[in-house]
């Protein structure tokens, strides 16, 4: 019984540390990022996009974030209701730059904090 309890407690500690790491990784995305295409501002629940040459922001609902060792995946909903997925990687050590990974929905984009 005691041995089983130790296994359970060990697993719970591992799961909470893994969850904390994922939260730290998703929070790396929070804030405003700029690229040649405009700017994107991430929060826990929204993605606000302002395209170059436009003033009016577009606000999208973020459904969830997933994070692993080097990639943060954002699951979000387009204004027309379409479910979208965008991945970000190549985070600089100082947290000032990253890359949006190319996929069917968009090109590879380099971002920097702004």
Listed by start position, the domains of the chain span: 2-113
For 50-104, the pLDDT digits (tens) are 999 999 999 999 999 999 988 999 999 999 999 999 999 999 999 999 999 999 8
For 17-64, the pLDDT digits (tens) are 344 444 447 889 999 999 999 999 999 999 999 999 999 999 999 999
Is pTM, for the whole model, over 0.85?
no
**CA-based angle 96:99:103, to the nearest 5?**
160
Give the pLDDT of residue 5: 31
Give the pLDDT of residue 97: 97
Q: How far apart are CA 46 and CA 30, in angstroms?
A: 10
Domain at 2-113, CATH from 1.10.287, 1.10.3470, 2.60.40, 2.40.128? 2.40.128
């Amino acid at each position: 019984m005691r041995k089983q309890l130790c296994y359970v407690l060990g697993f719970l500690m591992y799961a909470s540390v893994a969850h904390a790491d994922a939260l730290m990784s998703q929070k790396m995305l929070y804030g405003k990022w700029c690229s040649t295409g405009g700017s994107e501002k991430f929060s826990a629940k929204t993605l606000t996009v302002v395209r170059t040459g436009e003033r009016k922001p577009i606000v999208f609902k973020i459904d969830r974030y997933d994070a692993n060792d080097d990639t943060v995946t954002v699951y979000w909903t387009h204004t027309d209701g379409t479910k979208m997925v965008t991945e970000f990687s190549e985070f600089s050590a100082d947290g000032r730059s990253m890359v949006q990974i190319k996929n069917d929905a968009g090109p590879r984009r380099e971002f920097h904090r702004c």
